[in-house]
Structure 1
């Protein structure tokens, strides 16, 4: 994303978060651009019965929360550290000055936002499918293109636990486990040391 030296030039600070810390909470006013230096972050909501629904997962060097800066809305999700994290934080005013001075980063952010919108459209298309394999395949396709590194022998490593896959698709974790085993049997993915390669 935006290089560290450019972010520092516009006054960013680096904040440290421990696993489970809230970076921001649902309903807070958006005021900063966030970019991950190290670690992973999840965006989530909780239902009335405290069930978690994960909207997305981000890792270095991805950014998050910036879409709300453009429309000056409050956050519709929580941002929570999935691991210990170091995160660049740049005030909104400085962020927009940076984009004006470096339009190439504006184009990159538009590309990333478009990819996330595409993911949301694809997932909403399949979220009501009765076939859990269709939901999981859509999720893995997205992560394959945005988060994964390819192993020449085994394919793309999906960086998600079974529980995270359940929370991202609205499925039960037992259903995810059973479906993944069936997909492996059908040669749609490989499992090695409990990790999923797609």
Structure 2
């Protein structure tokens, strides 16, 4: 993403968050560009009965929340530290200055936003599928494409718990566990020490 030293040149500040801290809450006005220096962040919503639905999970050096700066909209989700983390925060004014003066990062931002939109559209096609393996495959494909840094054919370790996979796909955790075991039997993935290699 945008180099940390460049963010600092434009006035970014680094803030530390503890696991479970809210970085922003649903309904707040979008005012900052956020980029993760270390740790993980989840975007989520809570239903009226308190059930959590995770929209996405990000890790260093990914950014989040920037889409709403372009349309001056409030945040439709919460952003919560999934682990202890450090995050660079840059005002929207200075964020747009960077994009204007360093257009290569504008292209990178557009690419990332397009990938997220693509994932949401693919997932929405399958969200009511009776086959949970389809939903899980879309999720794992997305994480492999956006988080894997090696251009190799080696297997990628999915950085999600079974519960997080359930919250991201709208499935029950028991269904996720059962489906993953079935996918392993079909040689679609491997499970080693409870980690999923995809």
TM-score by length of 1: 0.97
- Per the alignment, residue 126 of structure 1 pairs with 126
Offset from partner CA, 1:8-27 (integer Å, 9 cap, x none)? 00000000000000000000
- Per the alignment, residue 42 of structure 2 pairs with 42
3-state SS in 2 of match to 1:71: coil
CA distance in 2, matches of 1:146, 1:96: 24
Instruction: Give how far 1:148 is off.
Output: 3.1
CA RMSD in angstroms, aligned pairs only: 1.4
Instruction: Give how far 1:110 is off.
Output: 0.3
How has the CA–CA distance of structure 1 residues 153 and 120 changed in structure 2, closer, same or farther, with 3 Å as cutoff?
closer
**5+ long unaligned stretches in structure 1:** none
Instruction: Give how far 1:5 is off.
Output: 1.0
TM-score by length of 2: 0.97
Alpha carbons 1:16, 1:84 under 8 Å: kept: yes
How has the CA–CA distance of structure 1 residues 154 and 193 changed in structure 2, closer, same or farther, with 3 Å as cutoff?
farther
- Per the alignment, residue 73 of structure 2 pairs with 73
CA distance in 1, matches of 2:158, 2:19: 20
Offset from partner CA, 1:150-180 (integer Å, 9 cap, x none)? 6x89611111000000000000000000000
Instruction: Give how far 1:2 is off.
Output: 0.2
1:93 to 2:93 alignment: yes
CA distance in 1, matches of 2:10, 2:145: 30
Q: How many residues align?
A: 198
The within-5 A match list for 1:32-181 is 32-148=32-148, 155-181=155-181
CA distance in 2, matches of 1:13, 1:149: 27
- Per the alignment, residue 10 of structure 1 pairs with 10
3-state SS in 1 of match to 2:70: helix
Offset from partner CA, 1:121-163 (integer Å, 9 cap, x none)? 011011110100010011001011111356x896111110000
CA distance in 1, matches of 2:41, 2:76: 15
3-state SS in 2 of match to 1:14: strand
Offset from partner CA, 1:73-98 (integer Å, 9 cap, x none)? 00000000000000000000011111
Q: Could you list the runs of 4 or more consecutive aligned residues of structure 1 that deviate by over 6 angstroms after TM superposition?
A: none
